[in-house]
């Protein structure tokens, strides 16, 4: 029973920390452009290397 006296506040604190981190990421705009990063990997903007003959 005394173990629960330590584990419950730790679990609540970790949940609160996760909620604060999520709300911070929402305010910083982490989730504004969900499709841009997914499509950006498909764009090939590398120039081909020229071979000297």
Over residues 13-40, the pLDDT tens digits come to: 999 999 999 999 999 988 888 787 778 7
Q: Looking at residue 10, what is its pLDDT?
A: 97
Question: Are 21 and 15 in contact, with CB atoms under 8 Å apart?
Answer: no
Q: Looking at residue 52, what is its pLDDT?
A: 65
**Short-list 46, 43, 27, 26, CA closest to 35:** 43
CB contact burial 4-24 (16+ within 10 A = b; e otherwise): eeeeeeeeeeeeeeeeeeeee
Q: Looking at residue 11, what is its pLDDT?
A: 97
- Token pair 């679990």: residue: 11
């Amino acid at each position: 029973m005394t173990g629960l006296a330590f584990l419950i506040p730790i679990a609540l604190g970790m949940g609160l920390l996760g909620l604060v981190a999520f709300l911070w990421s929402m305010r910083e705009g982490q989730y504004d452009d969900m499709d841009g990063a997914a499509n950006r990997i498909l764009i090939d903007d590398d120039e081909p290397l020229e071979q000297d003959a």
